[in-house]
Amino acid sequence: MHFEVKVEVSPREGIANPEGSTIERALPALGFVTASNVRVGKVIRLRVEADSSDDAKSLVEDMCNRFLSNPVIEDSQVEVLQG
């Protein structure tokens, strides 16, 4: 069975996020509304073959821990969107 899976990789709490801070600094200067707590992460969407939604989730979680994210600086969340 095919499953569409979404992985969100986000900078860990407490770790500086240069991309977010740069956006935060730029916003008022560029005439946008001021924002705070800006954090930029990645979202990876993929389709995998698995026997069940739970299987798909654990397959991708493993991939996530070992490959898609770096636990030193990133957290990740896996969501199975549809079968």
Partner 1 sequence: MSQRIGVVRFPGTNCEFDTIDAIRALDGEAEVLWHGQSDLKNVDAIVIPGGFAHGDYLRCGAIAKFSPVMDSITSFAEDGGPVLGICNGFQVLTEVGLLPGALQKNAGMKFLCSMQQIEFASTSNVLGQQASVGDRLMIPINHFEGNYVCAPEVLTEMEAENRIVFRYTDNPNGSLADIAGICNQAGNVVGMMPHPERATSRLLGSTDGIGLLRSLLAA
Partner 2 sequence: MSPAPEDASVHRALGLSDDEYQRIYELLERHPNHLELAMYSVMWSEHCSYKSSKIHLKRLPTQAPWVLVGPGENAGVIDVGDDIAVAIRIESHNHPSAIEPYQGAATGVGGILRDIFTMGARPIAVMDPLRFGPIDDPRSRWIAEGVISGVSGYGNSVGVPTVGGEIVFDETYKGNPLVNVLAMGVLPTERLVLGQASGVGNLAVLLGASTGRDGIGGVSVLASAGFDESSEDIDKRPSVQVGDPFEEKRLLEACLELLDQGLVSGIQDLGGAGITCATSETASRGGAGMDVDVTAIHARENNMEPFELMTSESQERMLAIIKPEDLAHVEEISARWEIQASVIGRVTGTGQLRILDGFDGDVLASLPASTLHDDAPEYKRPIAPPADLGERRAQDASQGPVDCINNLLSLLRDPAWVYSQYDHQLFLNTVVGPGNDGTLLRLRNPRNGQETGRGIALSTDGNHRWCHVDPRQGTAMVVAEAVMNIACVGAQPLAVVNCLNFGNPEHPEVMWQLAEAVDGMAEACVAFNAPVIGGNVSLYNETNAVDIAPTPVVGVIGMHPSLTTPPPSIGFPPNASLLLLGQVPDTDVSLAGSQWAWEIGGCKDGTLPTFDLQQAVRTSQFVAESVQKQQLLAIHDIAEGGLAVAAAEMAIDSGFGAQIVDHCDHVSMFNESGGRFLAVVGDELLDDFLKDAKRHDVPAIQIGRTGGTSLNFGTEIIIPVSELETAYRTELPEALGLGTVNT
Kindly list the residues in this chain that would bind a copy of itself in the complex (CB under 8 A).
Answer: 4, 8, 10, 20, 23-24, 26-27, 30, 32-50, 59, 62-63, 67-68
- Which positions from 48 to 77 touch partner 1 by CB under 8 A, shown as an x/- string? -------------------xx-x-xx----
Asked if 33 is part of the footprint of partner 2 (rule: CB under 8 A), the reply reads: no
User: Can you tell me which residue has the tokens 């989730």?
Assistant: 57
Q: Which of 35, 51, 65, 79 binds partner 2 (CB under 8 A)?
A: 65
Q: Are 24 and 38 in contact (CB under 8 A)?
A: yes
Phi then psi for 16, rounded to 5 degrees? -60, 145
Q: DSSP assignment, residue 33?
A: P
